[in-house]
Copies of this chain bind each other. A is one copy, B any other.
Amino acid sequence: MEFSKEINQTKPFNNERIKAMLNVVYTANKQQEQMVELLKPYKINDQHYNILRILKGRNGEPATPGQVKEVLLNSRGDLTRLVDKLVKMEFVSRGHSPHDRRSVELLITNQGAGILAVIAKDFDANQVYDFQLTEQEAKQLNILLDKLRG
């Protein structure tokens, strides 16, 4: 649906650029809401999910909390306590770097990888990533967003 209608905006926006930015915020929020909702049965939120994805993406190489934080798309919450929960759920293991004893090494466990696989199916069934865009349109969207951020 067209954005203005979705938020019941009756009067037109000052300009398309401001409208676009609000549209970005709105769209991101919609996506987040859907994800949080679907993740609820697994007792984790979108931040936990993103952390697991990042750790899985390391393919067996550990990552420090700092590295994870850097790559996180959005930085709500605090890594220590988000990871605390994942460790308690046994989705992530925490060790110490032999090179730098300040650093903590995070690794996804088999159980963590398992839950990610289950969630992937769930997301798939719920069409979380079924966007109504062609690859070409998505490419164009990426270009515009990059440009928007300046």
Interface of chain A: mostly helix, strand, loop or mixed: helix
Partner of A8, one of B2, B28, B70, B145: B70
Proximity string of chain A (23-40) to chain B, C-beta cutoff 8 Å, 1 when within and 0 when not: 111111111110000000
Given contacts A17-B131, A28-B28, contact A148 B141 (CB under 8 A): yes
Assess the A150–B138 pair: CB atoms within 8 A: no
State the Cβ distance, A57 to closest chain B Cβ, in Å. 8
Most chain B beta-carbon contacts within 10 A, residue among A8, A132, A138: A138
State the Cβ distance, A44 to closest chain B Cβ, in Å. 17
Given contacts A3-B145, A148-B131, A148-B141, contact A73 B20 (CB under 8 A): no
Residues on B with C-beta less than 8 A from A16 are 135, 138-139, 141-142
Assess the A31–B24 pair: CB atoms within 8 A: yes
Bound complex: CA of A135 vs CA of B16, how far in Å? 6
Bound complex: CA of A6 vs CA of B78, how far in Å? 21
Please list the residues of chain A having a beta carbon within 8 angstroms of any beta carbon in chain B: 1-3, 6-9, 11, 15-33, 57, 70-71, 73-75, 129-133, 135, 137-142, 144-150
